[in-house]
Amino acid sequence: MVVNASQDDPEKARRFREAALPYLDDAYTLARYLLRDTADAEDAVQECYLRAYKHFDSYRGPAMKPWLFAILRNVCRAEYARRKTAPTAVEEVPESAEQASMWNETPDTPERQMMRRFDGDTVRKLIAALAEPFRETFVLREIQNLSYREIADVAAVPVGTVMSRLARARAMLRSAWLAEQEQAK
Amino acid sequence: MTCEEAEVLLHALIDGELDAGHAREVEAHIEGCPHCAALMKEYQEIRQAMAETDLRYKAPLELRRRIEKALPQPQPQAVVPSRRSVLRGFAMGSAVSAIAATGLFAIVLRNDDEQRIEAEIVSAHLRSLQAGHLTDVISTDQHTVKPWFNGKLDVSPPVIDLTAQGFTLVGGRLDYVNTREIGAVVYKRRQHVINLFVAQTANTERRPATMTTLQGFNIRRWSDHGLNYWAVSDIGADELTEFGDKFEAAMQANKEG
């Protein structure tokens, strides 16, 4: 898809590139975590940038990164919807159910050994296993360093929801972390 | 405070999102509750472990190219630039420096604009060295050279006499860069010519000097007070740096004086 000629304003293009392209790695990182697929993430980021360019005239701030993320998130949600109707769609529900039960079943003894370190791939796998929308909140906070307010704006939910989702996400990650730790023994 | 409440609020505490009052309450609870204290410690350990791990992904080059291609070009090549878009072309220099840290994008822009303009600057310098082309107005007096530019350009290049500093002002010239007229102030160091090209830029931010070499010529490029400067010469980089430093110091002294 190419932006049509009526929007072909060199000055706008220059300002947009300058403002938005520095966040390309951030956007790609978010898309990878949200979609858990390389090709889908690339398509989503490209679509995000083209949509952002179209709406750049109405962009009034405050910060470019959360603004881009809000657009990217909508693109990704459209992709979920498409997957759900596609015959080969990745079914999200059983996984989130599995995660929720894992959270509840983890033994909760106060005195525990130090949380061990894992390599990047292992941690990414643990994060990727979190159910939507906890994964989204978690990644926006822990990897993208957004504030609760910014996350609330990106995900279009109240700040209180961000707080509870984040608590839930970290609890699930902790359980998965401990399980991984147990397995690695 | 109950453990249930604390288990949610301790995350906001970790993230520094709690106001002072609530933070104290959560801290007080954690102090008296081994369960919540252990949880808090674990979350912090996980967080620390994550901070030490690279969890980000890097956008593939191919994706970057695809996006670059799909977006309108900042300066379409096919269109003959208007005077305004030429000025924007010069302004591009500062845009590039603002995003210099972003890697490929900056490099792409440098190829398109900075390098093209630098190549034209060197060509203009070479033309000026041919017999009879160096100056349109010959004078070692800055009060003759400066007024000469008036009305010829939409920007009046600063003309500063640096004779006392070892760089003799020999005159001024209108030149042609990026399909437009541009002011050139000409200096000599011994027998070497220094052309100082001056163009307007939309960006008024100061941009510190950079030194590049093209076709055997040194180019010292900087921006200040809405003007882009390119000093070109075959003198060594150290001498050209000295020229630039003296010029900028004199400009500064003029403003203060």
Q: Are B137 and B152 in contact (CB under 8 A)?
A: no
Q: Are A71 and A48 in contact (CB under 8 A)?
A: yes
Q: Is B203 on the interface with A (CB under 8 A)?
A: no
Report pLDDT for A6.
47
ipTM of this complex prediction, to 2 decimal places:
0.82
Total count of domains within chain A: 2
Residue B86's closest CA among B150, B155, B151?
B155
Q: Is B216 on the interface with A (CB under 8 A)?
A: no
How many CB atoms sit inside 10 A of residue B151's CB?
Answer: 8
d(CA B10, CA B17): 10
Place of tokens 């379409």: B76
Q: Do A170 and B53 touch (CB under 8 A)?
A: no
Residues A176 and A98 in one domain: yes
Q: Per-residue pLDDT tens for A129-182?
A: 999 889 999 999 999 999 898 899 899 998 889 998 999 999 999 999 999 988
The b-or-e profile of B63-88 (16+ CB within 10 A means b, else e) is: bbebbbeebbbbbeeeeebeeebbbb
Residues A54 and A103 in one domain: no
Q: List the domain boundaries for chain B.
A: 3-51, 111-256
Q: How far is A148 from chain B (nearest CA, A)?
A: 7
Residues A34 and A55 in one domain: yes
Across the interface, of A18, A49, A111, the residue whose CB is closest to B98 is A18
Q: Please name the CATH architecture into which domain B111-256 falls.
A: 2-Layer Sandwich (3.30)
Using the 3D structure, point to which of A64, A85, A106 is the last residue of a domain: A85
Q: How far is B231 from chain A (nearest CA, A)?
A: 26
Q: Do A45 and B92 touch (CB under 8 A)?
A: no
Domain residues for A77? 5-85
Residues A102 and A62 in one domain: no
d(CA A106, CA A179): 8
Residues A50 and A71 in one domain: yes
Give the pLDDT means over successive 10-residue stretches in chain B (257 positions).
Answer: 88 87 89 93 92 90 91 59 42 40 34 72 85 78 85 83 90 82 90 91 79 86 89 93 93 78
Q: Do B8 and A142 touch (CB under 8 A)?
A: no
- Interface with B, mutate which of A7, A15, A21 (most B CBs under 10 A): A21
Residues A17 and A64 in one domain: yes
Q: Scanning every residue of chain B, which has its alpha carbon at the shortest distance from the alpha carbon of A31?
A: B57
Q: Are A162 and A151 in contact (CB under 8 A)?
A: yes
Q: Do A21 and B66 touch (CB under 8 A)?
A: no
d(CA A123, CA B49): 9
Using the 3D structure, point to which of A19, A53, A85 is the last residue of a domain: A85
- Residues of A with Cβ-Cβ distance to B55 under 8 angstroms: 29, 120, 123-124, 127, 142-143
Q: Per-residue pLDDT tens for A31-70?
A: 999 999 999 999 999 999 999 999 898 887 768 999 999 9
Q: What is the CATH number of the domain that holds A63?
A: 1.10.1740.10
- Interface with B, mutate which of A16, A34, A49, A115 (most B CBs under 10 A): A115
The b-or-e profile of B9-45 (16+ CB within 10 A means b, else e) is: bbbbbbbebbeeeeeebbeebbeebeebbbbbebbeb
For residue B196, the cross-strand partners are B185, B231
Residues A174 and A106 in one domain: yes
Q: What is the CATH number of the domain that holds A145?
A: 1.10.10.10
Is the peptide bond prior to A110 cis by the omega test (within 30 degrees of 0)? no
Instruction: Supply the Cα-derived Rg of chain A in whole angstroms.
Output: 19
